[in-house]
A and B are shown apart, each in its own frame.
Chain A
Amino acid sequence: MIEESLVTQNIKPAKKIFSYKTIRFEGAFRRSLVIVALIIIAVVAGIFLTLSVQSIPSLKSLGIGYLWGRTWDPVSNEYGALPFLLGTLMTSFLALIISVPFSYAIAIYLGEYNTKGWLSGFLKNIVELVAAVPSVIYGFWALVIIVPMVRSIEIKIGAAPYGVGIFTASVVLAIMIIPYAASLGRELIRLVPGSLKEGAYALGATRYEVLKNVTLPYTKSGLFAGLLLSLGRALGETMAVTMVIGNTSMMPDSIFSPGNTMASVIANEFTEAAHTVYLSALIELALVLFIVTVIINMIGKSIIKRFSAE
């Protein structure tokens, strides 16, 4: 490609290269690059503005107390978002707790124990494929496999045997978010300077002691950022959660009770929301979700940026 363009340019007389047409095209090209970059900014600003404007009716008629109202009953025009906020927080944090041992184990294995070779390549590809499976397929699979498993656990411990519910949703979410913390953690663990680890080994430390006293303290902030990014991912995940959480608007009273997250209530009720306040209340949930995930992502990314700059 390069050679070809050079040859054609050489043959053409110089006059033709700097024709007005070329110059005009060059200006148009530069301008269109700037315009495209501006459009991206406009899209994001537009998302925020649209959500804000559309949630004005609910802000006006329900006030800020909407966010901690305990009942959600659109039929009698009563709106309170607390069941969904609680549902989102419970599923996300439970999923995070379940996923941490696995994602950190993968990060440590790929970053420290086995950095090269076919086995680590295999595991790396598996982790990427786990991230690639569409969330509806996770949801469908969980509906058929995980739900009966959870139901039998519930029968054993004497909880109400719904099967669907917050715990089931957390298990599915945990599987889905493992790849995010794992692949980030792996890269950060690799950034630990070899001289630090060698120093510890030279002092007679075992591999576990090096990991515990050198590698993990060094990567602490980065691993935390990985957790934040997976949390952001878990908060916004919709489909798999919607399929297995049970979709009730009651306050969840245990981790086994069915519930709803912010994303799942939007997915379920948005097209049915007949009047303005109802619709607007749902959009206000989306606005809260948007702001929270953006803040969490920004904090996570800035920690990583600082970490890799060091």
Chain B
Amino acid sequence: MSPDGGLSSTGSLLAVAVGCAAASLWLLLPRGEGGLRERAASRFGMLLGAVALALFVATGRRLGGVGEEAVFLIVALVAVIGGAATVVTRSPVYSAIWFALALAGVAGVLLVLGAQFLGVATIVVYAGAILVMFLFVLMLAQPTGMASYDRVSNEPLLSAVAGAVLLGLLTLFIGRLSAGPDECCAVPSRAAALAGGTPRPPVAPEPPADSAGRDPLAENHVARLGGELFGRHLLAVEAAGVLLLVALIGSIAIVSRTPPDEPADAAAWRAGA
């Protein structure tokens, strides 16, 4: 088995997957067509999106056990499908609810990755507080019926291509990470050897000696995360508290001001120009 052949076939599969994802996003984004054409485009877009997701799943690395793999697959699919639906749904209320589903998937991914506190905190802070605030504002501000600006997009083709290019570059880089230390880690160590004059041993292939206190996967997860947060990062925690207070006071100060006269643009919009 040649490693080169395996790598390039994975690369071409990933390229096809990224292309399918871009085409699917372009078809699914609102383009103001309406009627039968829009429905056909969204069906075809969902089909292409499913093909792209299947290709991404096929090129993903196999995990250890079947159970672990199935759990990661389910939560990752929930996160990505929820995120895609957040972006392409016309009605902003449904968009916010799809975002809640994406948050549930992200919390599951964080749990699988061993971040128990962060998974629960994501649900509590995002889905419990931030998303409810979004829904409040939507209920306050949503005009009757489907607005015209929800049914058209700015440059849907260019946006989908930009997202696909970013995703392609990131997956390319992530794929090269797994290709071995020759490609991903050689340059810094060579540079260090040139700078230092003497060849140094590679940087910490083993976890350091006090890894029992630092490994996030060991026991007493939350207690040790709290110790790290309020020990090494105490000053940053204080700064975050000040930031929250300033944001609270600032938002109250801004929202209690009455708007002055309408700008010219808004008057033109009202007049139907």
Q: Do A and B bind each other?
A: no
List chain A positions with a Cβ less than 8 A from chain B: none
